[in-house]
Amino acid sequence: MEVEEDHIDVNLNSSPREDVDDSFKSDIFDPRNWNSLDSKQIDILAQKGPKRYNSIKKGPKDRYRKRFTALFYTRFLSNGECCDRDWLVYSKQLDRVFCFACKLFRKSHQKGQLANEGCNDWSHMTNRLKDHETSGDHVLSMTNWYELRSRLEKHQTIDKTAQRQLEKEKDHWRKVLFRIVCIVKFLAKHNLAFRGTNGKLYEDSNGNFLGLVEMLAEFDPIIQEHVRRITNEETHAHYLDHKI
Per residue in 44-90, pLDDT tens? Answer: 999 898 988 888 999 999 999 999 999 999 998 878 888 999 999 99
The crossing angle, in degrees rounded to 10, of helices 39-48 and 136-153 is: 90
So what's the pLDDT on residue 67?
A: 94
**Per-domain residue ranges for the chain?**
22-153, 158-231
Residue 235: pLDDT band (50, 70, 90) is confident
Question: What is the separation, in whole angstroms, between the first and last Cα of the chain?
Answer: 35
Separation between Cα atoms, residue 57 and residue 53, nearest integer Å? 9
CB 242 within 8 A of CB 192: no
So what's the pLDDT on residue 22?
A: 39
So what's the pLDDT on residue 161?
A: 66
Give the residue-averaged pLDDT of 13-38.
62
- The residue that leads in pLDDT, 187 or 242, is 187
Q: What percent of the chain has pLDDT over 90?
A: 44
Residue 210: pLDDT band (50, 70, 90) is very high
So what's the pLDDT on residue 160?
A: 63
Residue 162: pLDDT band (50, 70, 90) is low
φ, ψ for residue 99 (rounded to 5)?
-90, 110
- Nearest 5 degrees, angle CA 134-CA 137-CA 139? 55
- The residue that leads in pLDDT, 14 or 223, is 223
pTM, full prediction: 0.53
Cβ partners under 8 Å of residue 97, min gap 6: 68, 72, 88, 89, 90, 91, 114, 118, 119, 120, 125
- Nearest 5 degrees, angle CA 146-CA 69-CA 118? 55
Identify the sign of the CA torsion 150, 154, 157, 159. Answer: positive
Helix (H) or strand (E) holding 235: none
CB 173 within 8 A of CB 216: no
- C-alpha distances in angstroms, 18 versus 10, 25, 154? 11, 10, 26
- 76 beta partners: 82
Separation between Cα atoms, residue 203 and residue 209, nearest integer Å? 13
Is residue 191 pLDDT above 90, yes or no? yes
Identify which of 23-32, 143-152, 231-240 has the greatest average pLDDT.
143-152
So what's the pLDDT on residue 156?
A: 64
pLDDT tens figures, 120-161: 999 999 999 999 998 888 999 999 999 888 888 877 665 666
Separation between Cα atoms, residue 72 and residue 88, nearest integer Å? 8
The crossing angle, in degrees rounded to 10, of helices 221-231 and 158-189 is: 100
SS3 content of the chain, % helix, strand, coil (to 5): 50, 5, 45
Task: Characterise 95 by phi-psi region: left (phi > 0), alpha (psi -120 to 50), beta (else).
Answer: left
